[in-house]
Every structure is written in structure tokens, then in C-alpha cells.
Chains A and B, each alone.
Chain A
Amino acid sequence: MFQLLQQTWPWYVAGVLIGLIVPALLLLGNKHFGISANLRHACAACFPAGIKFFKYDWKKESWNFFFVGGILAGAIITALFLKNPDPVVVHPYLLKELASYGITDHSALLPKELFSWSSLFTVRGMIMLVGGGFLVGFGARYAGGCTSGHAIMGLSDLQWPSLVATVMFMVGGFAMANFILPFILHL
């Protein structure tokens, strides 16, 4: 049993559990699944700067901070007790492509060559971590939600604007991974 928990969980187990978060939050207190709103609440709580978009009672949304606090706690627990000791299995084509950019580490879920403090202070790391984060935050709010709010909650409620957003998430991702990222990784 414990070994089963240590291994990587298959997609159907993860998919069902994540799907069940939608009714869990609705039943526990009429809350709609969404994570990127936390970034907005953080702005509203810390530096609203008189901007209308950040002037609202963020304390009413504090459930969402507890929710991401839970994500953080769950991650810490997993890293401490349920960690998969084996290297991450990566598709051989991807491994080969990444090796050509000098990225060979796949001992953990994030390659050390990109996700480290020393990488942060390179042009490549700066673009990927600081630039990437900025695009995620800006884009999610501009779109009115992220993968959880649109792709999972929105599609669950059969909202067609969420389908538009989900398709565009994928278009952006495909464009970046296949056409732009190779140039950035070469830096």
C-alpha cells in the first residue's frame, strides 16, 4: 500500500480526485473552484494602490487563501513522506531535445538547470522564471481565470467562454513550447 502511494499516480486517479474538488467546494460552502483569484486577493490585501480592480473586501475571500495554504501543506507532506525516490520518467525525445540545451537533470519534477537561484540570475532563467510568472499572473487575470477556474470549473458548468479560454491556453502553450521556448533555452 505504502509503495503504491510512493509511486506516480495514474492520470485517471488524479483526474477523478481533482474533478471531485469541484463538488467538494460547492457542497462545503458554495465556493467555486479557482486559484488565480488568490493573486488578485494578494494585490487587494497588500498593495491595492487605489486601483478600482483591487478595491473590494478581500477578507470575504479568505477561504481561497486557506485553500492554497492547504495545497502548500499537502505538497510539504508529500515531499516529506510520500516522495517518489526514482528519477522522473521523461519522454526520450524530450530528454534528447533538452540535452541539446544543456538540461540533463531529471532527478526531480523541476530541472535544476532552470529552477535554481543560480539560474535565476542568468538571462535564460530570468526570462523563464520572472517573465513566465508575470505572463501567468497577467494572463490569468485578463482571461478571468486560470486552468482551474476556466478549464475545470468553467467547463464543468458548460460555460462556452471558458471553452474559448481553455483553447487559447493551449494555443499559447503550444506556440511557446514548440516555437519560442527553443530559442530561450538556447540562451
Chain B
Amino acid sequence: MSTTTKDIDISTFQSDFEARSLDMICINESRQQHPWWYNFKYMAVGMLFGIVFIKAEIISWFRIQEMFRLQSFHMYGVIGTAVIVGMISVWLIKKFNIKTIHGEKIEFHPKKFNKGQIYGALIFGLGWALTGACPGPLFAQIGTGSLVVLVVLLSAIAGTWTYGYFREKLPH
């Protein structure tokens, strides 16, 4: 597989990076540029995720209600196991300096604390228990044919937009 690594103007990269890293999450780390169809590899991972979401009933409104009522261990087991597997994987990648399949160094960025992780997360939690879905399961719920969840998704996008609009005025 041949890859082309183009030099990207560092100044634009940094300013862009800053804007995107306001998120402190989902920052596209890669400086490599690939043809668009390379993105299908992420689609394959997403498909596996979508199947697991449904087969393990993670997208179920009932499972989320049970979790918050301490009536079932299921969701705690799923998230706990995922975190442990993720932790071991990240530790291995750092320890052995494992590169991407394209030979690029894998980068990690420390997250900065801000008050959003308290207020925002609390607001998110309220919504999570109402809809029984965090953003990932929303897509899977739509895929199972519950088209009314499209409304939930659009509303979530509207919520994100509203946050962007009032961002400067909110405590961080």
C-alpha cells in the first residue's frame, strides 16, 4: 500500500488544530493525506460496533434504565470491560511505540480540565437517561428501523449548535 505524505503548512495546521482541540477529543491526529476511499476502513470498524451495539442490547432504553436503577450489571460489565481492554491496548501501544499501519507514530494528547466536564457531563447524563442513548447508539437505533430517533438525532445536533452559539458565555 503506497501512501503519500504531503507537507502541510504548519501554521494553518496549528491554528486549525487549536480550533478543533477545543473539543479535546476526536482530534484527527494524522498529518498524512490519503485518498478518500481509505475512510472505508473506519466504516468497517463502525459496522462491527453497530452489530455489537444491538446484539449486546447497548442501544436498549431498558438496559440504560436498569443501569441507572442498579437493577442490572450488564452495562457496567460492558463499559468496564471495554475500558480495561482499551487501557491495556493504549499501554501496549505506548510501551512498544507501535506505529499505525501506515508507519505513523501514534499520538496522544493530555486532556485539559475545564468546568464543562462537570456541568456539561451532568447535562449529558440527564439526556442519556431520558433518551436511553448516547450519540453512538442513536445511529444504531435509527438503523434498526426506529426512524423517530432521527428527531432525537436532529435535536442533538441542534443542542450541539446551541452550545457552539453560547460557548463564550458559558463557564469553562
Contact = CB atoms under 8 A, between A and B. Distances in A.
Chains A and B form a bound pair: yes
Interface of A: 5, 8-40, 42-43, 47, 49, 51-57, 60-64, 66-79, 82, 84, 88, 90-91, 93-94, 106, 108-111, 114-117, 119-120, 127-162, 164-178, 180-181, 184
Given A56-B19, A143-B120, A109 B41 contact: no
Given A42-B157, A74-B50, A142-B119, A26 B93 contact: yes
B54 A78 contact: yes
A168 B124 CA distance: 9
Contacts of A165: 117-118, 120-121
A57 B16 contact: yes
Nearest to A174: B68
A114 B130 CA distance: 10
Contacts, number: 542
B40 to A, nearest CB: 7
Given A37-B23, A78-B55, A173-B128, 9 more contacts: A14-B78, A26-B106, A75-B59, A78-B50, A110-B146, A142-B119, A143-B116, A154-B25, A175-B125
A140 B124 contact: yes
Interface of B: 16, 19-20, 22-30, 32, 34, 36, 38-69, 71-75, 77-87, 89-90, 92-93, 98, 100-102, 104, 106-108, 110-114, 116-136, 138-146, 148-149, 151-165, 167, 170
Contacts of A116: 148
A23 B45 CA distance: 11
Contact of B86 (A19, A79, A91, A174): A19
Contact of B43 (A70, A147, A176): A70
A155 B136 contact: no
A91 B131 contact: no
B155 A137 contact: yes
A21 B158 CA distance: 28
Given A69-B43, A94-B71, A160-B113, A74 B49 contact: yes
Contacts of A57: 16
10 contacts: A11-B74, A39-B156, A61-B26, A64-B42, A75-B139, A136-B134, A137-B157, A145-B26, A155-B86, A181-B129
